[in-house]
Homo-oligomer: A and B are copies of this chain.
Amino acid sequence: MARRNDHSREQLKDLAIESVFNIVDSDECATVTARAVTQGMGYTVGTLYLVFSSIDDLLLQVNAELLKRLHSDMQFAVKNEVDPQATLFAMAKCYFLLAEHYPGRWKLLSRHREKLGDEETDNIVESIFTLVETELARLAPIRNNKEIAIAARALWSAIHGICVVNASSHLRHRVHYDARSLVRTLIHTYLSGFMSDNIAPPT
């Protein structure tokens, strides 16, 4: 089945995704062009369309791969921590470190969140939320399933938002203290409120 090079469709996909990583890792502001991607794989532009339906399709699959790795990192955190709160810190750290160490990859992730994702991507995101929910449930038994689900999304949104602000911090900010402690403070403060049995907010 293989021709000129011994690369199956699957291998071509991996090559392309790898090439995208190389591009955004070398320069987080670089634009991922079809020609740059295929040049990085040692192919020409047409080959990309043999394996992906469009550039957006490629980037979608890149993001799916990123999310899979994130989920894997977070699972590792769950295994290595005992305290639920410590686990949540560790999981948040996984996300934060992705943004800090691989800003280019993380920007792909946050830039394409707006576009419609396919079912696979959504499922990975769901599995990530499930990890968070499990810890929240252990931490605040007084909360019901719905409250847990909402809290997981709110908390994760907040962490994501901090990464966004951090990524776009132009040094010029009046308050600049590091995003790492910002995340820690956020989780701590939020959980403190979440665990106490305060009354429901006004409607």
A interface residues, Cβ below 8 angstroms from B? 89, 107, 110-111, 113-117, 119, 122, 126, 146-147, 149-151, 153-162, 164-165, 167-168, 170, 172-175, 177, 181-182, 184-194, 196, 198, 200-203
CB-based contact A150/B185 at 8 Å = yes
Q: Is there contact, CB below 8 Å, between A114 and B168? A: yes
Assess whether A157 is in contact with B158, with CB atoms less than 8 Å apart: yes
Top 4 closest pairs, chain A to chain B, by CB: A157-B161, A158-B158, A193-B193, A192-B193
Check if B111 sits within 8 Å of A111, measured CB to CB: yes
A113 in complex: contacting residue of B89, B162, B164, CB < 8 Å: B164
- Report the minimal beta-carbon distance from A130 to chain B, rounded to whole angstroms: 9
Chain B residue at minimal CB-CB distance from A189: B193
B contact residues around A146 at 8 Å (CB): 175, 177
Secondary structure type dominating chain A contacts: helix
Q: What are 10 sample pairs from A and B whose C-beta atoms fall under 8 A apart?
A: A119-B172, A126-B173, A149-B175, A154-B182, A184-B201, A190-B193, A191-B193, A193-B193, A193-B194, A196-B196
Q: Which of A107, A157, A175, A177 has the most CB of B within 10 A?
A: A157
Interchain CA distance A71-B170 in the complex, whole Å: 20
Known: A150-B185, A185-B201, A188-B193. A113 touches B160 (CB 8 A): no
Of B114, B182, B187, B196, the residue contacting A111 (CB under 8 A) is B114
CB distance from A74 to the nearest CB of B (A): 18
Report the bound CA distance from A133 to B174 in whole Å.
13
